[in-house]
Structure 1
Amino acid sequence: MAKNSRNCEANCMRCKYMVSKKPGKQRQEQRKSPLHIKRKRMRARLVSDDPDLIYVRTVTVRVGDEVEVLRGDFSHPNSVKSESRGKRLGQARGRAGVKSKIVGIDSKNDRVFIEGLTQNTADGKEEAVPIRPSNIIVTKLYEGDPLRIKRITERSSPGGSVE
């Protein structure tokens, strides 16, 4: 059989890599992919002063990691903005710069929930705000999983491989 055959299990589109160049098909395969592959795709930049992690660029996010929000405006788009904050006045509109821990992960929708980032619903309940992993940076890894720390530090070499 040909090397790029879709019938071959070793070259299955959802298992190994995507074959098409078309952006629509790329997005479709990402949406259709299994949860264990979507979970691995939920990665964020790692910014750490630890010399053991100097060559690690991104890590898969996990509950307990300390993160900082880089981008995002968490107010409702139709809400009335006060005159004391806003882009024209030079202040931040949203909650960018929040430093806290990850409290939940939604692998199906590729979202992360961060402690302290909530918004009120119409019936008065507080609900966590979902954030994409691309909008955060990991500042400190969760210490409760020594195997994960070991695997990440093993990758931290000039020619390290991806986990």
Structure 2
Amino acid sequence: MQVKSHKPSKQRKYLYNAPIHHRGKIMSAPLSEELKSKYGINSIPIRKGDRVKVMRGDYRGTEGEVISVDRKRYRIAVKGIVRRKADGTEVPVPIHPSKVVITKLYLKDEARKRLLERKGVKVEEIVEESE
């Protein structure tokens, strides 16, 4: 899944043509310092329900819950970060996952628990936090 070429054009080509199941892995976000020390991992694929803090851009410092993940455009939508259109309706602002830090993991997902187990986190720690 990793791009073997060093050429930027080939790396971009891979990103644009990557299958959906690879895009989920590509859309990983770093964990906050406390989560890094707790779980012993640096990043994890982002999913709906995670709490994130925006680290770059106009919305820097804003914290909210991920309400949608767009794997086709490599963007996430965060609750509370909206833009008002000319007709007055509000639309979520798309944010790239590399520009956020995960502050709280959504642990009600069995696949997420299995992923953490594979990465070496003990099951008891996961169960305690999700309750």
The TM-score with structure 2 as length reference comes to: 0.82
- 1:28 maps to 13
1:135 aligns with 2:99: yes
Q: How many residues align?
A: 120
Higher relative contact order (CA 8 A, sep 6+): 1
The TM-score with structure 1 as length reference comes to: 0.67
Higher strand share: 2
Distance change in 2, residues 1:122/1:65 (3 Å)? same
1:67 aligns with 2:52: yes
Question: Which runs of 5 or more structure 1 residues have no equivalent in the other structure?
Answer: 1-15, 74-94, 158-163
Alpha-carbon distance between aligned partners in 2 of 1:56 and 1:155, rounded to the nearest angstrom: 8
State the structure with more CA Rg: 1
Instruction: State the AA in 1 paired with 2:60.
Output: A
Alpha-carbon distance between aligned partners in 2 of 1:71 and 1:127, rounded to the nearest angstrom: 19
Greater than 2 Å deviation, 4+ residue runs? 16-21, 48-52
What fraction of aligned residue pairs are identical, expressed as a percent?
Answer: 33
Alpha-carbon distance between aligned partners in 2 of 1:153 and 1:52, rounded to the nearest angstrom: 13
1:125 corresponds to which of 64, 77, 89:
89
* CA RMSD in angstroms, aligned pairs only: 1.8
Alpha-carbon distance between aligned partners in 1 of 2:33 and 2:16, rounded to the nearest angstrom: 31
